[in-house]
Amino acid sequence: MQNLNEKYQSVLEQREKVLKEIQDMQQQEIIKKYLELQKQKDNLEDEYNQLYKEVKMEEYKSCQHILVTDTVAGSGFNYQQYFGCIKCGLTSKVLDFPREKLNSLQLQAMYDYLYKNHFINNTFYDLRRLTGIETNIDCDIDLAQAIYTRIKNAHPTIDDVTAIKYFEIALNDIRNIKVNNERKINRARRLSLNDNFNRWDNRRI
Ligand SMILES: [Zn+2]
């Protein structure tokens, strides 16, 4: 017990000493300046986050979407079908998560956009309410966006109908030309996907 009391007393004193030192330091001009900058940074961060989401939501609203489906196999014969845009990346996948589980600003903006516009069910009824072109392509949405981005980089002024044609050619090449694992990893890297990306072909479900 005595030991414990001594330890308690010692920690109490150290703590007070440190708190006092912090208080003294906070009186220094340079520290005041530092604290003020931290506060400004936090405020700007909040403002930035808010504006980023608004910009993204505006992008989703004004995009003439090119829509694909993304069929994901579940257990047994179950599967889940999502929709997504290969241009802006908007995907109904986000609706599968509670909002607080979405850890990126972009995914939160997607969720807010879909939710705000009452796309609360992941159905094709919702899909048809988005403006743009609905294709019959079924493809992982990350892969689809990666392919589209490459086409758009190579042909900045390409129209949507031609872009879809190029997209289908690129996707068919990826699916039909057999490559070994190493080349698949290189291909994933070229498309800025994860090394372990393996959803090249949604048809094999
Ligand atoms: Zn879009």
Q: Do 69 and 47 lie in a common domain?
A: no
Q: Do 39 and 110 lie in a common domain?
A: no
- Which structural domain range is residue 39 located in? 2-56
Does 145 map to a domain? yes
- How close is the Cα of 67 to the center of ligand 1, in Å? 7
Q: Is residue 147 helix, strand or coil? A: helix
Does 205 map to a domain? no
- How close is the Cα of 60 to the center of ligand 1, in Å? 6
Residue 105 to residues 55, 101, 130, 154, Cα–Cα distance (Å): 11, 11, 22, 28
Please enumerate in sequence order all residues whose Cβ is within 8 A of that of 63, keeping only pairs 6 or more positions apart, or say none: 85, 87, 88, 90, 132
Q: 90: number of CA atoms within 13 Å, CB side?
A: 30
Do 67 and 85 touch, CB atoms closer than 8 A? yes
Q: Do 51 and 70 lie in a common domain?
A: no
Q: Do 113 and 35 lie in a common domain?
A: no
Residue 136: count other Cβ atoms within 10 Å of its Cβ.
7
Q: Do 93 and 108 lie in a common domain?
A: yes
pLDDT of the chain, 205 residues: tens digit per residue: 789 999 999 999 999 999 999 999 999 999 999 999 999 999 999 999 999 999 999 999 999 999 999 988 877 778 888 889 999 999 988 888 888 999 899 999 999 988 887 666 655 546 667 889 999 999 999 999 999 999 999 999 999 999 999 999 999 888 887 777 787 788 888 888 877 787 888 765 4
Number of domains in the chain: 2
- How close is the Cα of 169 to the center of ligand 1, in Å? 20
Q: Do 93 and 32 lie in a common domain?
A: no
Does 36 map to a domain? yes
